[in-house]
Structure 1
Amino acid sequence: MTETPLWQQYRQQIESYRDAQLNFDLQRVHEYTKENGWNVDDHEAELPPEQPGEPQAHGSWHAACAVLREYRFPPPDLITGIFIPDQPLEQRIMLLRGTFLGFTFYFGVKIGGVIDETRQTEHGTERIWGYNYQTLQGHFERGQIDFSIVKIIETGQVLFRIHAFSQTGRISNPIYWIGFKLFGRHLQLRFARDAMKRMQTLVQEALAGVPSQTSQQTPIQSTANNPEAAEQLAEVVEKQ
């Protein structure tokens, strides 16, 4: 029996975020610095290189872009992204399923922008593709995270980069607030570390011809079997 895709199971919850507002002010991004109490992170991982020049049709850069587009790189035991696959990336709303302190939580994020360009940098000519997503009301964090796949044209080097600025958001439940204050930063760093490793593995598998599984097929525990998660999801949806 074929399991119903996650995006169909959670379509109503995804759509509930369609008109949700960001939980931070985009007009004040210049203020979101370490000096002002924000976490600002940059991570980079090397992927299998290519020959110098434009990205190869079946090479590392294109394989990584496919993994990134499908949001398959996050560690599935920590984060699963659920989205309607036939909607344009620029309009994507994702329901993030997070596992934290033995509970299952659901958060909304939206794609804030897509980058597809070639630019001159100190490293050389970089061919870049990627996107960012931004946190919506109800998220335990507030901020933005940028993901990009980069090829340095002159050398053939291919990179996966993550840039983020974030801060703990409004958490009404005091137990969750304490838990996130104690462990939230650790989870952030673990997410980046594991995402880098998983991206490397998935790209290597793609180049070797190993069939992939999209994030939309990743098994997930139904909220019907988790009263705590069901209650939390209902509270978030009601606030939209």
Structure 2
Amino acid sequence: MLRERRLYREDAVPALRALASLDVNYPGAGGRPAAEAGWHIDTLVQPLPPEDAGAPVPGGSWETACRLVGDYRFAEPRILRSVYDSTAPLLGRDMLLEGRFYGLRFDMGVRVTCVTDEVHGSGEDARRVWGWSYRTLQGHLEQGELTYEVVKHLHTGAVDFVITGYSRRAPIRNPLVRLGFMLFGRLTQRRFYRRSAKRLHRLLQGELRGLPAAAMDTHPSDDRVVVAPATAPLPEAFRRIPRSHDRHP
């Protein structure tokens, strides 16, 4: 239980605030790098419940998914959880991530560097896209950028959750951690993508069926700071919802 409450410890908030003094931990952060340069390039598309064609429906699948993604409730908590200031604008927000790796816990900082809210394409290809990206900060076990987007295809009403990113292992001083990350880091990363996408699907389906929203926890020493996802497990009603299969383009 103590390990589950690490992010609620008193020093978590100062650690979050200290991220403001850190820079992105890799040079040339800007354009998407090539796989030939040693980067992993990832894309995962998770179909979500559709809605009527046209503009997003108030309270519908796209709008609700955007809220869940913006609050970071969709993340697979057995692999990654976060602490962030809910009063800070999303663009530029620092997040202290707790990585869970084969019984170990690692604190890692990221910064939201891009927020997207626009229509891409036209005619039958028009898509309403909302999402955000973060980049890794100094001290993170990885280097790179991860983007989460909720996409509505306006012509059909289909809604997707799209995860894209590029990453590579950062220099790690501890030889045991370095070896473990070399052997299992990539597997854990891919598992995080799959499980987070499926978790979002379950949460979204639950809310669309009228179930209460998943809990949001605030830090005991500062109610502006959110711990997400919350420590409480998903209600049984959410877990009974059938899972959809991932679709990779």
What's the TM-score bracket when you normalise by the shorter of the two chains? 0.7 to 0.9
1:28–1:134 Cα change, 3 Å: closer
1:23 counterpart residue number: 25
RMSD: 2.1
1:99 aligns with 2:100: yes
User: Per-residue displacement from partner, 1:148-195 (whole Å, max 9, x unpaired)?
Assistant: 000000000000000010000011101000000000100110010001
Per-residue deviation, residues 98-127 of structure 1 (Å, max 9, x unmatched) = 111211110000001100000107971000
Partner of 1:155: 156
Structure with greater helix percent: 1
Equivalent residue letter for 1:75: E
Distance 2:97 2:90 in 1: 16
SS of the aligned residue for 1:134 comes to strand
Structure 1 contact 160–196 (Cα < 8 Å) conserved: yes
Separation in 1, partners of 2:180, 2:21 = 29
Q: Report if aligned partners of 2:66, 2:150 keep a CA contact under 8 Å in 1.
A: yes
Q: Are 2:60 and 1:59 aligned? A: yes
Aligned partner of residue 148 in structure 1, secondary structure = strand
Query: Using the alignment, how far apart are the partners of 1:123 and 1:44 within structure 2?
Result: 19
1:61–1:158: 8 Å Cα contact kept in structure 2? yes
- Size of the alignment, in residue pairs? 216
User: Structure 2: how far apart are the matches of 1:9 and 1:204?
Assistant: 36
Q: Which residue of 1 aligns with 2:88?
A: 87
Gapped regions of structure 1 (runs ≥ 5): 221-240
Structure 1 residues 7 and 198: CA distance shift in structure 2, 3 A: farther
Contact 2:144 2:167 in 1 (8 A): yes
Check 1:23–1:201 CA distance in 2 against 1; reply closer, same or farther (3 A cut). Answer: same
Distance in 2, Cα, partners of 1:25 & 1:68: 28
Letter in 2 for 1:19: S
Amino acid at match of 1:29: G
| Residue deviations 1:40-95 (CA, integer Å, cap 9, x gap) | 00100100000000000010001100110000111111110110111111121000
CA gap of 1:176–1:203, structure 2 versus 1, over 3 A, is: same
Work out the CA distance in 2 between the residues paired with 1:128 and 1:106: 30
Q: Please say if 1:180 is aligned against 2:192.
A: no
2: CA distance, partners of 1:64 / 1:21: 30
Separation in 2, partners of 1:28, 1:118: 22
SS at match of 1:145: strand
Cα distance 1:123–1:23, how it changes in 2: closer, same or farther (>3 A)?
farther
Distance 1:59 1:20, change over 3 A: same
Q: Which residue of 2 aligns with 1:238?
A: none
Which residue number in structure 2 is paired with residue 199 of structure 1?
A: 200
Provide the rounded CA distance (Å) in 1 between the counterparts of 2:136 and 2:29: 15
Paired position in structure 2 for 1:230: none
Kept in 1: contact 2:51–2:159 (CA 8 A):
yes
Q: Which residue of 2 aligns with 1:219?
A: 231
Q: Structure 1: how far apart are the matches of 2:70 and 2:129?
A: 13
In the aligned structure 2, how far is the partner of 1:166 from the partner of 1:186? Answer: 13
**Residues 98, 104 of structure 1: 8 Å contact kept:** yes
SS at match of 2:21: coil
TM-score by length of 1: 0.85
* % same residue: 34
CA contact (8 A) 1:97 1:104 kept: yes
Deviation track 1:8-45 (CA, whole Å, cap 9, x = no partner) reads 76211101110201111245635x21111110001001
* Partner Cα distance (2:9, 2:60) in 1: 29
Take 2:92 and 2:9, find their aligned partners in 1: how far apart are those partners? 15
